């Protein structure tokens, strides 16, 4: 049974991704958000259904919503899903 993530969980995941995995956030925007010319990206929020990013394209902020391929059950599912998405995007890019 899935519930939307609390603001606290969303904030914690976003902070971690933006502080420690900024390269992965750009990969999400490019590979899954279709913003192929993004120079930077920031994760704004995450919920059970997807994530909201803002990507920098030519000095302009572009809002990006990326749907997950399944409904996330908890923070651990989010962690595993985000890792799998980066791996998938890196394989596609090769």
| Domains of the chain listed by start with CATH number | 7-85 (3.20.180.10)
Query: Is 25 buried (19+), middle (13-18) or exposed (0-12) by CB count in 10 A?
Result: buried
Model confidence band, residue 2 (pLDDT cutoffs 50, 70, 90)? very low
List pLDDT tens digits, range 16-53. 999 999 999 999 999 999 999 999 999 999 999 999 99
Q: What phi and psi values does residue 49 have, to the nearest 5 degrees?
A: -105, -20
């Amino acid at each position: 049974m899935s519930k939307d993530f609390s603001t606290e969980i969303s904030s914690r995941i976003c902070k971690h991704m933006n502080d420690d995995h900024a390269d992965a956030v750009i990969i999400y925007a490019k590979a899954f958000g279709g913003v192929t010319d993004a120079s930077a990206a920031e994760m704004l929020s995450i919920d059970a259904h997807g994530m909201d990013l803002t990507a920098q394209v030519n000095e302009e902020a572009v809002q990006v919503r990326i749907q997950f391929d399944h409904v996330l059950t908890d923070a651990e599912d989010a962690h595993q899903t985000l890792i799998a998405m980066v791996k998938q995007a890196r394989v596609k890019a090769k």
